[in-house]
Amino acid sequence: MTTTPPRHPPSARLRLGAQPCPGGPARRIDGAWWPRSYDLTAELPGLLAGLPYGWGHISSVLVNGAMWSLSGDGILVDDQMVHLRRTDLSRPVHTVCLLAPGHGRWDLLVVPPAATQAEAERLMQTATADDPLTARTADPGS
């Protein structure tokens, strides 16, 4: 377990899509996040601080193990444990999955940290488009 120092995290470069209407089609991607690095323990506090209050306490984060640097299986963020899980199976490489028991699951497209401002804006705009079909086509590798 790694403990993050108590400090105000840097603002997350985050864009969230509109929440789907009840009974409407579910979004496959709920938003886009442009971290400054692939060091999850360094980046996660800023991301979590930028999420809507209604998403609840994110208790687990699932990432592709090949992309991210993790130290330990969890970190303490705002006095609450967040479990870090890595997988190389069935997890899209350029996404991060956030889980909040009793509140839901959210999948964010991850814009590569080395992306230019223009590339990041394009990917984030595409991922959060109102049309769920358009959001599915956002690919940071393109």
How far is residue 65 CA from its own chain's centroid?
14
- The pLDDT score that the predictor gives to residue 9 is 45
pLDDT at 83: 95
CA-CA-CA-CA torsion for 54, 49, 14, 95, nearest 10 degrees? -80
- Comparing 36 with 132, the larger pLDDT belongs to 36
pLDDT digits (tens, 9 = 90+) for 72-93: 788 899 888 999 988 776 666 7
**Does residue 110 surpass a pLDDT of 90?**
yes
Can you tell me the distance from the alpha carbon of 127 to that of 17, in angstroms, rounded to the nearest whole number? 8
Average pLDDT (102-115) is: 93
| Cα distances (angstroms) measured from residue 116 to each of 13, 34, 36, 79, 112 | 13, 10, 11, 34, 9
Q: Residues of the chain with pLDDT > 90: what percent? A: 49
pLDDT given at position 122: 95
Residue 108 has pLDDT above 70, yes or no: yes
Residue 141 pLDDT more than 60? no
